[in-house]
Amino acid sequence: MTEATTIGLDLAKNVFQAHGADAAGAPVFRKKLRRDQVLAFFAAQPPCVVAMEACPGAHHWGREIGRLGHAVKLIAPAYVKPFVKRQKNDAADAEAICEAAQRPTMRFVAVKSEAKQAAAAIFRARDVLVGQRTQLINALRGHLAEYGLIAPQGPAHIERLIAQIEDPDSGIPPAARACLAVLVGTLRHLQEQTAALDAEIAARAKADETARRLMSVPGIGPLIATAIEALAPPTGTFRSGRDFAAWVGLTPVQRSTGGKERLGRTSRMGERTLRRLLIIAASAVVRWAKRKGVPSDSWLGRMLARKPPMLVIVAVANKNARIAWALLTKGGVYRAPAVTA
């Protein structure tokens, strides 16, 4: 019987689907596997390429199957979809994964180690807490606006509204005040938890030599430095800093045709947490530059003189991403270029 050189595995909670193909791409087998049968099945297979979609659980199965001697490759789901023929089902998905993995130009996702995933968990948890905090702040603003109480935008100004809730002479009905006090208590608890995670991230950055080198870049602090280490794939995955910035999603979408180059808004591909942090930090750099001033012949000064602020912010974030890739790849610390008089 012909042996499979590539196996496409469609992951699921309980019932998995495997599709084996030989070197020519011809089907060798199609098999359903229960969750407790997966490792035993692959242990019985000769060493081959096992491909899966990069989805929740893929890195776990990638590590487990890799220990059995197979070469594991993860593929972004968007790259698998074009290979699905007509009907959408588990067997068709497994076949599409297998076929996509055999393409010579296919791009793969590196399998993350348990330590890498553990390092990223703190950022995922922080994102959840920040999202819940924003929801509570918006809820408080909406409720108090019904009584004519408003405050400027931004989390820093929410204390004005909280003071109104806690003031018995503010005119808020007692029934509403009791309910809003519950939201305030939850908000303060979330703020404490977020601050604790921020302190943990800062401690990690201080103890890590690579993070300290990344923090030498203007606009990269402890949060971004540790996020780059935890969330970004190995630097060898990218040929250049430009490729890394494109993976983060800080390059424009191309819709070029007929020899005419058409560039749109930023692609927003890749790691959205890292992209958001880089843009927030870049906006702070641009605000500081506009308030304090920068040399007119510097790169940032020339950009501010001829480009809209948001475009400059994205350009600064893009530049910081490329500098971070260079520091991770080549070592050293950031040295600001000399400005000629």
Confidence of residue 1 (pLDDT cuts 50, 70, 90): low
pTM score over 0.85? no
232 DSSP 8-state letter: S
What DSSP element (H or E) covers 197? helix 174-207
**Quick one: average pLDDT of 59-79?**
95
Task: Return the higher-pLDDT residue of 97 and 337.
Answer: 97
**Quick one: average pLDDT of 170-189?**
92
pLDDT of 338 reads 63
Is 80 exceeded by the pLDDT of residue 326? yes
**Quick one: average pLDDT of 152-167?**
90
pLDDT for 95-128, tens place per residue? 999 999 999 999 999 899 998 899 899 999 999 9
pLDDT of 271 reads 83
Is 90 exceeded by the pLDDT of residue 270? no
Portion of the chain with pLDDT greater than 70, in percent: 99
pLDDT of 252 reads 83
pLDDT of 74 reads 96
Is 60 exceeded by the pLDDT of residue 11? yes
Q: From CA 266, how far away is CA 10, in angstroms rounded?
A: 31
**Quick one: average pLDDT of 36-64?**
95
pLDDT for 198-226, tens place per residue? 999 999 999 999 999 999 998 899 999 99
pLDDT of 336 reads 75
pLDDT of 159 reads 92
pLDDT for 278-294, tens place per residue? 999 999 999 999 888 88
pLDDT of 73 reads 96
What DSSP element (H or E) covers 88? none
Closest listed residue to residue 164, CA positions, set 153, 151, 152: 151
Which positions ≥6 away from 22 have C-beta within 8 Å? 2, 3, 4, 5, 28
Closest listed residue to residue 271, CA positions, set 120, 129, 134: 120
**Quick one: average pLDDT of 312-317?**
94
Portion of the chain with pLDDT greater than 90, in percent: 68
Tokens of residue 250, six digits: 């800080």
Is 80 exceeded by the pLDDT of residue 337? no
pLDDT for 216-261, tens place per residue? 998 899 999 999 988 988 888 888 999 999 999 988 888 888 888 8
- Residue-averaged pLDDT of the chain: 91
Is 70 exceeded by the pLDDT of residue 89? yes
CB of 188 within 8 A of CB of 138?
no
pLDDT of 45 reads 94
